[in-house]
């Protein structure tokens, strides 16, 4: 299986999926999102794959959704059209990564912003390099109620989630480590090998046992209301797309937020 926006590598029982739009800092356009969903579906069915690593080629993991494409193709979406588009490609695709039946590790360098933050945090573990930074600035840049999947309080605690979302500022790799949002921080040069070694260690265990462990850990969060909270936020987020703040940002040009997102 080959993709235009992804590169796949096989390392024994580990499949590494790399976002591959380096020139656009791996901004997620519709094609990339569709290909990523397909790549995860293929990996789920492939019995030779026990663990998936999700990374990005180049200097950045992902700068987020492709706002140039959003401006060109979706700026005049009706409520119904946006609900369908974002429900499928942002919410459902993300939750499928969360529910993916094998362990996943995000391998993050450089920008991990907004839609990129959302996707990276769907993975079970995160390994970051020193250059990595995490943010969701769209409350400031787009007047939106954060990104579509409000995973933030579940991975960093509600205090830091509030600070990050209220201020629109970045969290460095070291701070992400300190607050428990990432598992390891290594040098940029070591990121690829370190993440792969962690994945190989996980892949030594019998896969069905791993699947059940993941299922139980995710159910622990479901018992605390994760899925209900994420679904409720999706609805709230849709409301924000009709707000004065969002419509003003749209009229200025959604792509003008890209610089701030960086």
- DSSP code per residue over 208-237: HHHHHHHHHHHHHHHHTTHHHHHHHHHHHH
| Nearer of residues 54 and 67 to Zn ion, judged by Cβ | 67
Q: Which residues of 86-112 are buried (b: 16+ CB within 10 A; e: fewer)?
A: beebbbebbbebbebebbbbbbbbbbb
CB of 212 or CB of 247, closer to Zn ion: 247
Going by C-beta distance under 8 Å and a sequence separation of 6 or more, which residues neighbour residue 88?
Answer: none
Least distance to Zn ion from the beta carbon of 117, Å? 14
What are 205's two structure tokens?
């265990």
Please state, in angstroms and as integers, the Cα–Cα distance from residue 34 to each residue in 6, 28, 30, 38, following that order.
11, 10, 6, 6
Q: How far is the CB of 179 from Zn ion (least distance, A)?
A: 26
The residue (of 86 and 124) whose beta carbon lies closer to Zn ion is 86
- Alpha-carbon torsion angle 36, 67, 56, 113, nearest 10: -110
| In the complex, least distance from residue 248 CB atom to Zn ion, rounded to whole angstroms | 16
CB of 148 to Zn ion, least distance (A): 5
Q: Which of 59, 242 has the CB closer to Zn ion?
A: 242
**Rg of the chain over all Cα atoms, to the nearest angstrom:** 17
Quote the tokens at residue 192. Answer: 């690829």
Nearer to Zn ion among residue 66 and residue 86 (C-beta):
86
Rounded to the nearest whole angstrom, what is the least distance from the CB of residue 172 to Zn ion in the complex? 26
For Zn ion, the binding residues (CB under 5 A) are: 86
């Amino acid at each position: 299986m080959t993709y235009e926006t992804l590169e796949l590598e096989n390392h024994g029982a580990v499949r590494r999926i790399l976002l591959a739009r380096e020139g656009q800092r791996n901004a997620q356009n519709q094609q990339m999102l569709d290909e990523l969903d397909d790549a995860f579906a293929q990996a789920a069915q492939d019995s030779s794959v026990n663990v998936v690593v999700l990374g990005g080629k180049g200097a950045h993991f992902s700068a987020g959704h492709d706002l140039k494409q959003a401006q060109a193709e979706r700026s005049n979406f009706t409520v119904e059209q946006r609900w369908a588009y974002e429900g499928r490609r942002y919410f459902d695709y993300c939750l499928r990564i969360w529910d993916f039946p094998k362990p996943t590790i995000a391998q993050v360098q450089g920008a991990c912003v907004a839609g990129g933050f959302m996707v990276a945090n769907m993975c079970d573990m995160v390994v970051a390099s020193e250059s990595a930074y995490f943010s969701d600035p769209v409350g400031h840049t787009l007047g939106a109620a954060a990104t579509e999947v409000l995973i933030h309080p579940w991975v960093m605690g509600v205090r830091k989630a509030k600070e990050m979302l209220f201020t629109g500022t970045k969290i460095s790799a070291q701070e992400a480590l300190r607050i428990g949002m990432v598992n390891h921080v290594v040098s940029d040069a070591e990121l690829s090998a370190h993440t792969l070694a962690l994945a190989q260690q996980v892949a030594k265990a019998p896969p069905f046992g791993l699947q059940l462990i993941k299922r139980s850990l995710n159910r622990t969060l479901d018992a605390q209301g994760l899925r209900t909270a994420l679904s409720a936020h999706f609805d709230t987020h849709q409301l924000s797309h009709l707000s004065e703040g969002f419509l003003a940002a749209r009229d200025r040009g959604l792509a003008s937020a890209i610089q701030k997102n960086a």
